Amino acid sequence: MPASSAPPQLASPAPKVTHHLLNYRLRLIARYLILTVGSLIVIIPIYLAIVNSLLVPSQLAHQPPPFFPTNPQWHTYPDAWSSGHLGVYIRNSLIQTIIIVSLQIVTSVLAAFAFAFLEFPFKRTLFVIFLSTLMIPFEVTVTQNLSTISSLGWMNTFQGLTVPFLATGFGVFLLRQAFLSLPPELREAALLDGYGNVRFLTRVVLPLSRPVIAALAVFSFLGSWNQYLWPLLVSGNDNKIRTVQIGLKQLAATQLDQINVSLAGTVIAFLPLIILLIIFQKQLVRSLTAGSVK
């Protein structure tokens, strides 16, 4: 911008103001233009999925494509829910996710408390061991975990689906940071009041750490709800524990002539998470950006 880099005292006041105003207006327009284009890139695929889920199948191939459902086929939603078994899959996903989220919080709180407040031998080494789990992506261990689960007889069970994920190095790291940032006087005051460690944890640390625990919960909810590889391997060809994500694959594969129904299923699987995002945006951002900003 050459205009704004000119030495201010040389320009006479009046034209400078109008020039700046024009500049500001142009920049504002450019900004909203970028925002609109970006929004369209994000929204058009989702919007078309919703529109297509309501079309009569023959309309799908129409050119130009219908951008509004003139004859909405609402029955595709109950179809996906019952004959596509999406109701069952959503129940399974909920069970899986609730088990993982609640127990991840328990194991992380306990370990983080030990690292933040207790004294014990090999503390640093153990913490490094915990952190090193962050360097091993689950995908790298998936082959062996599958044979472990299968030799335990846990294929097609909720244990098999969830137990490998009941501890999280990220959760321990996040909570330990939060616990350490609590004022140290709290610990001393609690000891003076005769609080043992357990009471200090449940009465002082947990209530004060609710926001960060909520952040971990939202993060781990998202992670487990959207898991794909592991549920695919563990649930095999069985309906019993099949999750939404694997159900969607089935929906896409078995009903090619019913794209509208499979897209209705997609919307059903997607909508709860959008609502979750709107409600828990702050917590989600906090957990996703943990470690990015010093």
Name, in order, each residue with C-beta under 8 angstroms of 101's C-beta and a sequence gap of 6 or more. 217, 220, 221, 224
- Which residue among 72, 153, 211, 291 contacts other proteins (CB under 8 A)? 291
187 vs 217, beta carbon nearer other proteins: 187
Return the range that interacts with other proteins (CB under 8 A); candidates 9-17, 32-40, 72-80, 173-181.
32-40
Report the C-alpha gap between 41 and 56 in whole angstroms: 25
Report the C-alpha gap between 49 and 142 in whole angstroms: 33
Number of residues that bind other proteins (CB under 8 A): 104
2 vs 183, beta carbon nearer other proteins: 2
Is residue 81 within 8 A of residue 87, CB to CB? The reply is: yes
Return the range that interacts with other proteins (CB under 8 A); candidates 11-19, 72-80, 105-113, 206-214.
105-113
Is residue 6 within 8 A of residue 23, CB to CB? The reply is: no
In terms of Cα–Cα distance, which of 265, 275, 294, 273 is closest to 50? 265
- Which residue among 20, 25, 62, 199 contacts other proteins (CB under 8 A)? 62
- Contact between 263 and other proteins by CB under 8 A: the answer reads yes
- Which residue among 85, 87, 94, 107 contacts other proteins (CB under 8 A)? 107
- Which residue among 10, 14, 61, 192 contacts other proteins (CB under 8 A)? 61
- Which residue among 13, 15, 137, 207 contacts other proteins (CB under 8 A)? 137
H runs (alpha helix) in 69-205 = 76-82, 86-117, 123-132, 138-151, 158-162, 169-180, 184-192, 197-199
Report the C-alpha gap between 163 and 153 in whole angstroms: 13
- Contact between 111 and other proteins by CB under 8 A: the answer reads yes
- Contact between 238 and other proteins by CB under 8 A: the answer reads no
- Contact between 209 and other proteins by CB under 8 A: the answer reads no
Within 146-185, the residues that bind other proteins by CB under 8 A are: 146-148, 163-167, 169, 172
Is residue 246 within 8 A of residue 232, CB to CB? The reply is: yes
- Which residue among 188, 189, 199, 203 contacts other proteins (CB under 8 A)? 188
Go through the chain and tell me how many residues it has: 294
- Contact between 142 and other proteins by CB under 8 A: the answer reads yes
Interface map 116-135 toward other proteins (x if CB under 8 A)? --xxxx----x--xx--x-x
29 vs 98, beta carbon nearer other proteins: 29
Task: Look up residue 36 and give its amino acid.
Answer: T
Instruction: In angstroms, give the least distance from the CB of 253 to other proteins.
Output: 8
- Contact between 18 and other proteins by CB under 8 A: the answer reads no
CA distances, 11 to each of 8, 14, 21, 25, 75 (Å): 6, 9, 15, 20, 68
> What phi and psi, each to the nearest 5 degrees, are found at residue 158?
-70, -30
- Which residue among 22, 46, 98, 189 contacts other proteins (CB under 8 A)? 46
Q: Residue written as tokens 């781990």?
A: 220
Within 73-102, the residues that bind other proteins by CB under 8 A are: none
